[in-house]
Amino acid sequence: MTKVSLYRRRKFTNALGLALSALSMALGLVGLTWILWTLLYNGLTALGPDFFLQSTPAPGTPGGGMANAIVGSLLMVAFATLVSTPIGILAGIYLAEYGSVSRFGSLTRFVTDIMLSAPSIVIGLFVYAIAVATTRHFSGWAGSLALSLIAVPVVVRTTENMLKLVPGSLREAAFALGAPRWKVSLSVTLRAVRGGVLTGVLLAVARIIGETAPLLFTALNNQFFTADMSKPMANLPVVIYNFAMSPYEDWQRLAWGGAALIALIVLTINIATRILFRDKLRS
Amino acid sequence: MEYTATTSADARARPAGCQGTTKTMTQDAIAARVRRFALQDRLFLLVTFAFAAIVLVALAGILVSLVVEAWPAFREFGVGFLTGTRWSPADDVFGAVISVYGTLVTSFIALLLAVPISFGIAVFLTETCPKSLRRPLGTAIELLAGVPSIIYGFWGLFVLAPVFQEYVQPLLIATGLPLFEGPPLGIGIFTAGLVLSLMVIPFIASVMRDVFETVPPVLKESAYGLGCTTWEVVRNIVLPYTRVGVIGGVMLGLGRALGETMAVTFVIGNANRLASSLFAPGNSIASTLANEFAEADPVLHVPALFALGLLLFVITVVVLAAAKWLTARGTAAAGR
């Protein structure tokens, strides 16, 4: 009799545990669809041609768009990507090719991992101290610098991880032909994993395009259209933040549009890199 | 740097080994080429080394600049900055307790909710989920981890907070616990913790799933062979085997939650008050920085904010370093 009850209890615990785990999965999925649904529902209506062609409106004026913020975000992200890609790739090469045994290598790897999850607002503080306080004005360059500081660790880590997947025999074959080490690194191993490195760069873009905190007091915001990076610059995340917190309904509608736009960009990049990477693995 | 010397010596030695087979080149030409290659290699090492050093310099620069900029605040308030319970820019009185309390409590609430749910998701994805659904569901969770935090904050303020205010808060207030006192505002410390938990769930769940997958199938199969149920296998085989990695993953999530700015700033209420109720509005370190920095007075307010930033940085670096150490140990144990 006790045997039966013990068996029953074990079966019950099992069923309960697995049911709860399925429930948490369901909760996660509900969260995902709920967020996406409200974003698209509220955001897509705001994404008309005006959204891309007009600048942010003054308080209380209807209409307007986010052209200045979109251009500002694109410029800052583009420069940040241009700066962080070579730094990240070269540092990644160092870690993969030379840094696997040295103490400096493991220290760098450790610090990169810390920087990967360090609070982005602190990076904003740092850039404020070195680039805004010294020049006495906010600028697009400062924002771009903050974003590149966030992007570099992402590129470093993916580049290193990808390079480590390259079979040693490929390296040895190149060395046997008498190629110098730099040539092996750049035209053999790096080339073998260029898809993976590109993935890293794209993931870095996806990471920084929605970053708000480091831009709050570096790029600040600008009500007007400007492509001059030495001035305060409008950018999507900060405009979304300011407009969402405002009492004006027109502004809030624009903020929903901006949020939907950013979410779509980030999700597209994430899905695209997955497809890209899967094809690479298959071939 | 000793390793450097040996590698470039390697590079020099390798082409030199080809000498005997090359007939079309004179000894001198070969030697010159070998020297050139060695020089290029040394240069290449130097360049990549310099770029790797940039990461270290950045971290050191962050620490130094934060300390330098925060110095006036520390000189003015001393240790009292850490124990001060008033934050009043109007009177030039700054104490960190309110913000630190907000940061710690929101992160604690976030983990309290996120850890069991993430665990459930990871168990579902590794044990019960049909094979064909594993990939898409896992991808969906990972996509959720990539959504920018401003989206979570925005959504939390406009969608979650009203629902929470309407349906959940009255129920919790009715329990009469002192933790859930006061009017149902929708926003506040508890809501911030809730949004944070939504944000870290996908992150912790992906890490947990990854470490659960390191458990050798043989171990699990032997447990099943003894008649264990799935739940018993998870509790007695998978969890003990991956314990260190799981704790590391949770601490990584904690690191994220502590430093998160936007998801918190939208919904925490931004009030510089200490309240016993979790439904009261408050402030975290990150939200104080986000709200006040751009308009702060440079004499004492800005240094005080830098001091808060330094505090946040130190806390997160300690947590992340511990997490890194644990996950490294976890994967090392799994690889054994």
Q: What is the pLDDT of residues A48-85, one digit of tens each?
A: 888 898 888 887 777 888 899 999 999 999 999 999 99
Cβ proximity of B170 and A282 under 8 Å: no
pLDDT at B6: 43
pLDDT at B296: 87
Q: CB distance A122–B313 less than 8 Å?
A: yes
CA distance B80 to B146: 39
Q: What is the mean pLDDT of residues A31-60?
A: 87
Cβ proximity of B153 and B267 under 8 Å: yes
A160 touches chain B (CB under 8 A): no
Q: What percent of chain A shows pLDDT beyond 90?
A: 59
Cβ proximity of B192 and B149 under 8 Å: no
Band of residue A263 on the pLDDT scale cut at 50, 70, 90? very high
Q: Name the nearest CA neighbour of B322 among B262, B250, B248, B221.
A: B248
CA distance A34 to A234: 29
Please give the helix or strand (H or E) that residue A65 lies within, else none: none
Cβ proximity of A158 and A277 under 8 Å: no
CA distance A232 to A223: 9
Q: CB distance A104–B1 less than 8 Å?
A: yes
CA distance B14 to B38: 10
Min CA distance, B292 vs chain A (Å)?
10
User: What are the backbone angles phi and psi of residue A229, rounded to the nearest 5°?
Assistant: -75, -10
pLDDT at B9: 44
Report the residue of chain A nearest B125, measured CA to CA.
A25
Q: CB distance B255–A129 less than 8 Å?
A: no
A:118-157 residues touching chain B, CB 8 A cutoff = 118-126, 128-130, 133, 149, 152-153, 156
Min CA distance, A161 vs chain B (Å)?
15
Cβ proximity of B19 and B33 under 8 Å: no
Angle between helices B301-335 and B285-292 in degrees, nearest 10: 140
A35 touches chain B (CB under 8 A): yes
CA distance B182 to B179: 9
Band of residue B116 on the pLDDT scale cut at 50, 70, 90? very high
Q: CB distance B18–A102 less than 8 Å?
A: no
Cβ proximity of B253 and B114 under 8 Å: yes
Q: CB distance B118–A94 less than 8 Å?
A: no
Cβ proximity of B41 and B8 under 8 Å: yes
For B269-279, the pLDDT digits (tens) are 888 888 888 88
Question: Per-residue pLDDT for B331 more than 70?
Answer: no
Chain B residues closer than 8 Å to A25 by CB = 120-121, 124-125, 129, 137
Q: List B269's β-bridge partners, or say none.
A: B282
For B164-218, the pLDDT digits (tens) are 999 888 888 888 888 888 888 888 999 999 999 999 999 999 999 999 998 999 9
Q: How many residues in chain B?
A: 336
Task: Please give the structure tokens belonging to residue A173.
Answer: 């074959």
Chain A residues closer than 8 Å to B51 by CB = 86-87, 90-91, 94
Min CA distance, B329 vs chain A (Å)?
14
CA distance B317 to B255: 8
Band of residue B16 on the pLDDT scale cut at 50, 70, 90? very low
B43 by Cβ neighbours in 10 Å (0-12 / 13-18 / 19+) ranks as exposed
Question: Per-residue pLDDT for B107 more than 60?
Answer: yes
Min CA distance, A227 vs chain B (Å)?
22
CA distance B169 to B165: 5
Give the type of residue at B190: F
CA distance B320 to B252: 6
B227: left (phi over 0), alpha (psi -120 to 50) or beta: left
Band of residue A1 on the pLDDT scale cut at 50, 70, 90? low
Taking the whole predicted model, whether its pTM rises above 0.90 is answered as no
Among B10, B155, B315, pick the best mutation site for testing chain A contact (most A Cβ within 10 A).
B155
Question: Per-residue pLDDT for B238 more than 50?
Answer: yes
Chain A residues closer than 8 Å to B14 by CB = 175, 178
Q: CB distance A29–B43 less than 8 Å?
A: no
Q: CB distance A126–B61 less than 8 Å?
A: yes
Min CA distance, A21 vs chain B (Å)?
4
Number of Cα atoms under 13 Å in the Cβ half of residue A164: 13
pLDDT at B333: 58
Give me chain B's average pLDDT, please.
Answer: 87
Cβ proximity of A99 and A108 under 8 Å: yes
pLDDT at B182: 82
Report the residue of chain B nearest A90, measured CA to CA.
B48
Residue of A11, A182, A241 lying closest to B41 (CB–CB): A182
Give the type of residue at A117: S
Residue of A21, A22, A156 lying closest to B55 (CB–CB): A156
Cβ proximity of A147 and A88 under 8 Å: no
User: Cα A194 from chain centroid?
Assistant: 19
Question: Per-residue pLDDT for B17 more than 60?
Answer: no
Angle among Cα B122, B243, B218 to the nearest 5 degrees reads 75
Residue of higher predicted confidence among B1 and B227:
B227
Which three-class secondary structure state does DSSP give residue A162? helix
pLDDT at B170: 87
Q: What is the mean pLDDT of residues A244-265?
A: 91
Min CA distance, A196 vs chain B (Å)?
18
Report the residue of chain B nearest A35, measured CA to CA.
B155
Please give the helix or strand (H or E) that residue A254 lies within, else none: helix A249-282
Q: What is the mean pLDDT of residues A225-254?
A: 90
- 3-state secondary structure string across chain B: CHHHHHHHHHHHHHHHCCHHHCCCCCHHHHHHHHHHHHHHHHHHHHHHHHHHHHHHHHHHHHHHHHHHHHHHHHHHHCCHHHHCCCEEHHHCEECCHHHHHHHHHHHHHHHHHHHHHHHHHHHHHHHHCCHHHHHHHHHHHHHHHHCCHHHHHHHHHHHHHHHHHHHHHHHHHHCCCHHHCCCCCCCCHHHHHHHHHHHHHHHHHHHHHHHHCCCCHHHHHHHHHCCCCHHHHHHHHHHHHHHHHHHHHHHHHHHHHHHCCHHHHCCCECCCCCCCCCCCCECCHHHHHHHHHHHCCCCCHHHHHHHHHHHHHHHHHHHHHHHHHHHHHHHHHHHC
Task: Please give the structure tokens belonging to residue B95.
Answer: 């104490």
Cβ proximity of B295 and B90 under 8 Å: no
Min CA distance, B231 vs chain A (Å)?
5
> What's the ipTM?
0.90
A19 by Cβ neighbours in 10 Å (0-12 / 13-18 / 19+) ranks as exposed
CA distance A163 to A186: 11
Report the residue of chain A nearest B8, measured CA to CA.
A181
Handedness of CA A194, A195, A201, A204 (dihedral sign): negative
For A175-234, the pLDDT digits (tens) are 999 889 999 999 999 999 988 899 899 999 999 999 999 999 888 888 888 888 888 999
Q: What percent of chain B shows pLDDT beyond 70?
A: 91
Band of residue B11 on the pLDDT scale cut at 50, 70, 90? very low
Please give the helix or strand (H or E) that residue A243 lies within, else none: helix A236-244
For B260-317, the pLDDT digits (tens) are 999 999 999 888 888 888 888 999 999 999 999 888 888 899 999 999 999 999 999 9
Task: Please give the structure tokens belonging to residue B291.
Answer: 């709200």
User: What is the number of other CB atoms lying within 10 angstroms of the CB of residue B170?
Assistant: 11
pLDDT at B186: 87
CA distance A119 to B284: 13
User: What is the number of other CB atoms lying within 10 angstroms of the CB of residue B10?
Assistant: 13
